[in-house]
Amino acid sequence: MTTALRRLRNYIDGEFRDAADGRTTEVVNPATGEPYATAPLSGSEDVDAAMAAAEAAFPAWRDLIPAERQKVLLKIADRFEERAEELIAAESENCGKPIALVRSEEIPPMVDQIRFFAGAARMLEGRSAGEYMDGFTSIIRREPVGVCAQVAPWNYPMMMAVWKFAPALAAGNTVVIKPSDTTPASTVLIADIIGSVLDELGHPRGVFNVVCGDRETGRLMVEHKVPAMASITGSVRAGMQVAESASKDLKRVHLELGGKAPVVVFEDTDIAKAVEDIATAGYFNAGQDCTAATRVLVQESIHDEFVAALAKAASETKTGAVDDEDVLYGPLNNANQLKQVKGFIERLPAHAKIEAGGEQVGEKGYFFAPTVVSGLKQDDEIVQQEVFGPVITVQSFTDEKQAVEWANGVEYALASSVWTKDHARAMRMSKVLDFGCVWINTHIPLVAEMPHGGFKKSGYGKDLSAYGFDDYTRIKHVMTSLDG
């Protein structure tokens, strides 16, 4: 006996719709490896309809006074709290995430982030007016850019949707967002929440739209003539493709891509505390985090002690069922990702040593054991490339100069951390580390008020903070003659 699959739909101009041509794709629960839903595999007709709805809604949404947009976002945040258990269930099924961790680690920050941008909606200001030429006054207008095409990833589909729609809507833009083809469920639920709020407050339905689909759907969105901006959180390859596609009509592009965060541990560090925090930051969400603490550089004098402690922490870290409150993380998101992580382990060079883990676990789903690999060299594949799994690598460095050279010696530049009791050393390292974020004696905390974004192949543009809000605005100079 087979169980009927749940039917997910696009959300376009305030209505839930199937793909125009009826095509669908199966959505798999990574904790079981079994499909639980179908979602539209949207094509050009669906993208056209969503863009038309967003374009039609833009003038009215743009022209609202900021306080009115703030009311909408505040009500959306309230509704997220009211429907938290639905969101938790959807995200857990989407990703196989432990229910308790979605409840404690995702819902509260998401609600806070929406409320932060609700406040930012009332800060659309430019520099003060002034006379910079005799007889003329200049003012600066800050305006929304228009329709935003947004593509969200599968590692945090619900939270990344918030990071995209909240600043965009706050600034007066309208949105067409595409979730990953493997994780559409929570974004479709978010559409139901936002749509109900827009209806209740009497705003245009086309302000927020969701189009499900695959890479081709995303390409159609980015290349569409309507959006003024394309935003993506995803792989470096996907970011490059988006930048190339958007260049054809010079769209603005906002890219948050991969990471390979160095975790630089000096010999004066409290090893037990560092290991505890680094293991959590490396294995949380199965290491499927662009900022994950998965590339550890340890000063040689404490290397062996540190590796032994980290391997012990890995062996005590638990992965498993979504309803088990003792697990730190769930499965990898999909079969392809499991294959990728396995491939890194299978291709390890002879000088590498697996200190813990290194294998798939469980009889079903895409679970992978917490893993520690030591004995690595700077040019090894697993050091240079993003694994995006519960795998922590360890290298041994001699001095501060070598630590900086190796830390910066990758193509990514999103996040990093330094572990030391020496304040001067921490300040020197924070200056020279070429990453968008440097944590000191911690790794991975984020707050709505501070920017998140990197350099180099980690992309450009910022999420969160006033800087993230600014990315969804444009600047206009207005000059008026004083002659009347």
Q: Which residues of 61-87 are buried (b: 16+ CB within 10 A; e: fewer)?
A: bbebebeebbbbbbbbbebbeebbeeb
Q: How many CB atoms lie within 10 A of CB 273?
A: 12
Closest CA to 153 of 337, 361, 393, 283: 337
Closest CA to 288 of 439, 150, 371, 391: 391
Q: Single out the catalytic residue among 256, 305, 363, 386.
A: 256
Contacts (Cβ under 8 Å, ≥6 apart) of 2 = none
Strands 229-233 and 10-12: unpaired
Q: Is 137 exposed, middle or buried (0-12, 13-18, 19+ CB in 10 A)?
A: middle
Task: Give the C-alpha separation, 396 to 375, whole Å.
Answer: 8
Residue 238, helix vs strand vs coil: helix
Find out whether 263 and 414 touch, Cβ atoms under 8 Å.
Answer: no
Task: Give the C-alpha separation, 86 to 191, whole Å.
Answer: 13
Max alpha carbon distance in the chain (Å)?
Answer: 83
Site of tokens 């541990």: 265
Contacts (Cβ under 8 Å, ≥6 apart) of 80 = 87, 107, 110, 111, 114, 193
What token pair was written down for 345? 């382990």
Q: Is 256 a catalytic residue?
A: yes
Q: Distance of CA 384 to CAs 67, 380, 381, 393, 412, Å? A: 47, 6, 5, 11, 9
Residue 211, helix vs strand vs coil: coil
What token pair was written down for 46? 């669906």
What token pair was written down for 316? 């005590």
Backbone dihedral angles phi then psi of residue 254, each to the nearest 5 degrees? -125, 115
Task: Give the C-alpha separation, 368 to 357, whole Å.
Answer: 8
In this structure, the dihedral spanned by the alpha carbons of residues 314, 318, 319 and 321, taken in order and rounded to 10 degrees, is: 180
DSSP assigned state of 129: P
Task: Give the C-alpha separation, 287 to 299, whole Å.
Answer: 23
DSSP 347-361: T--TT-EEEE--SB-
The residues annotated as belonging to the active site are 256
